[in-house]
Amino acid sequence: MTAFLAIVARDLRLGAGAQGAMLTTLLFFVLAVSLFPLGVGPEPQILARIASGAIWVAALLAAMLSLDRLFQADQEDGTLDLLAQAPLPLGLVALAKTLAHWLTTGLPLALIAPLLALLMQMETEAIPVLLLSLLLGTPSLSLIGAIGAALTLGARRGAVLVPLITLPLVIPVLIFGVGAVDAAAYGLSAQPHLLLLGAFLAAALALGPFALTGAIKLALE
């Protein structure tokens, strides 16, 4: 447990620091959402209609941004080899790094999203559901994205490849996340959508470490 937390703490310090991706990811998120009113016009009804989708898509893209460096920085300086030989199973090591990634990208995105929802004229009943859906959905993004990042370690143009192979796989998260927010906006229950988001997260948490272990071991051969 202490080893797990030590890895999380180390990656948090690296990620939240000056060279970390946290602030740039947040900035990208805010910028991307701001592009929508500029593109489709400021009419409040239209913005309210597309708000959930725009915010979720921007969150998806922002979460993808820093993924390619997740394992690559450690592979380049040999840390990944040492971590692979540590007593902590490689799946848990990868899970720790993914948790730290989520804490520095997904979590801040989710926390700032309500502010952006106000900018996008979203109905106020929907905003807490937006927060909850992003809190449930962004860890799945980090997990599936970590698989993509591990698979492309050492590949040419790996940075472009990670979104290409990850985005089709996380489409259910997008669908249910937006579905939850839209349900709340129309006064319906968001619970089914949120439960499905939780189910996807549970499955990703259970199965992800196997894929991560395989992919990292492959990269270290």
Partner 1 sequence: MHALANPARFLRLMAAIRPYAAVLAVLGLAIGLGWGLLFSPPDYQQGETVRIMYLHVPAAWMAMFIYAAMAVASAAALVWRHPVAELAAKASAPIGAAFTLICLVTGSFWGKPMWGTWWVWDARLTSMLILFFLYLGYIALWEAFDDPARAGRAAAILALVGAVNLPIIKFSVDWWNTLHQPASVLTMAGPKIHADILWPLLITALGAQAYYVWMLCLRVRAEILERQARILRFSAAADRRAA
Count Cβ atoms within 10 A of the Cβ of residue 100 and give its class: 0-12 exposed, 13-18 middle, 19 or more buried: buried
Binding-residue total with partner 1 (CB under 8 A): 31
CA distance 136 to 128: 12
Within 108-147, the residues that bind partner 1 by CB under 8 A are: 144, 147
In this structure, the number of other CB atoms found within 10 A of the CB of residue 112 comes to: 17
Q: Which of 182, 184, 194, 201 binds partner 1 (CB under 8 A)?
A: 182
Closest distance to partner 1 from the beta carbon of 25 (Å): 23
Residue 205 contacts partner 1 per CB under 8 A? no
Count Cβ atoms within 10 A of the Cβ of residue 165 and give its class: 0-12 exposed, 13-18 middle, 19 or more buried: middle
Closest distance to partner 1 from the beta carbon of 176 (Å): 7
CA distance 53 to 49: 8
With contacts defined by CB under 8 A, name the span among 79-87, 109-117, 131-139, 170-178 that binds partner 1: 170-178
Residue 215 contacts partner 1 per CB under 8 A? yes
Residue 92 contacts partner 1 per CB under 8 A? no
Distance of CA 216 to the CA centre of its chain: 19
Is residue 218 within 8 A of residue 94, CB to CB? The reply is no
Residue 196 contacts partner 1 per CB under 8 A? yes
Residue 179 contacts partner 1 per CB under 8 A? yes
What would the DSSP string read from start to end of 152-181?
Answer: TTT-TTHHHHHHHHHGGGGHHHHHHHHHHH
Contact code string over 142-161 relative to partner 1, x by CB under 8 A = --x--x---xx-xxxxx--x
In sequence order, what are the residues at sequence separation of 6 or more whose Cβ sits closer than 8 angstroms to the Cβ of residue 147? 166, 208, 211, 212, 215
Residue 164 contacts partner 1 per CB under 8 A? yes
Per CB under 8 A, residues contacting partner 1 are 144, 147, 151-152, 154-158, 161, 164-165, 167-169, 171-172, 175-176, 179, 182, 196, 200, 203, 207, 211, 214-215, 218-219, 221
